[in-house]
């Protein structure tokens, strides 16, 4: 495992701010490259009662991002939609380590849980 000096802790926030962030478990059902981008992938993610399209700049982090299909992981689902490469991303995946410059890893539940289960 790489040794990394942890970044400083960000300023404190109140529980009211944390409570506004909707983090849910979803299963990645499909992964595709985004035409014209050397870093973006498009994921179709199942949240139980609906699916969403979520983009991530993780193409260069893994040899084959299609290996993520079938993985349950955590997503922020109440971000404002963001237009990327002419399409709309409807959330954000948690990718541990990217901001620290280490090989990223996804946070995964210790056992399967229902898609759409909330963090907290």
Question: Could you tell me if residue 11 is inside a domain?
Answer: no
Number of domains making up the chain: 1
pLDDT digits (tens, 9 = 90+) for 50-97: 999 999 999 988 889 999 999 999 999 999 999 999 999 999 999 998
Question: Could you tell me if residue 58 is inside a domain?
Answer: yes
| CB contact at 8 A, 108 and 119 | no
Q: What is the pTM of this model?
A: 0.91
Indicate if the pLDDT at residue 4 is higher than 80: no
Indicate if the pLDDT at residue 1 is higher than 70: no
Return the beta strands (E) in 1-120 as ranges.
Answer: 23-33, 41-46, 51-56, 72-76, 82-84, 87-89, 92-93
Question: Could you tell me if residue 107 is inside a domain?
Answer: no
Question: Could you tell me if residue 115 is inside a domain?
Answer: no
Indicate if the pLDDT at residue 101 is higher than 90: no
Residue-level pLDDT at 2: 59
Domain that residue 95 falls in: 19-100
Question: Could you tell me if residue 6 is inside a domain?
Answer: no
Question: Could you tell me if residue 50 is inside a domain?
Answer: yes
Question: Could you tell me if residue 24 is inside a domain?
Answer: yes
pLDDT digits (tens, 9 = 90+) for 6-51: 899 999 999 999 999 999 999 999 999 999 999 999 999 999 999 9
CATH of the domain at 46: 2.40.50.140
Question: Could you tell me if residue 3 is inside a domain?
Answer: no
């Amino acid at each position: 495992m790489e040794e990394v000096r942890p970044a400083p802790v960000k300023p404190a926030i109140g529980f009211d701010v944390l409570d506004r962030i909707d983090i849910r478990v979803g299963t990645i059902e499909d992964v595709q490259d985004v035409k014209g981008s050397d870093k973006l992938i498009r994921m179709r993610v199942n949240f139980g009662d609906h699916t969403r399209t979520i983009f991530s700049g993780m193409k260069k982090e893994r040899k084959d991002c299609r290996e993520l299909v079938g993985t349950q992981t955590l997503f922020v689902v109440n971000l404002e939609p963001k237009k990327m490469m002419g399409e709309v991303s409807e959330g954000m995946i948690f990718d541990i380590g990217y901001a620290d410059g280490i090989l990223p890893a996804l946070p995964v539940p210790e056992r399967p849980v229902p898609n759409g289960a909330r963090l907290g």
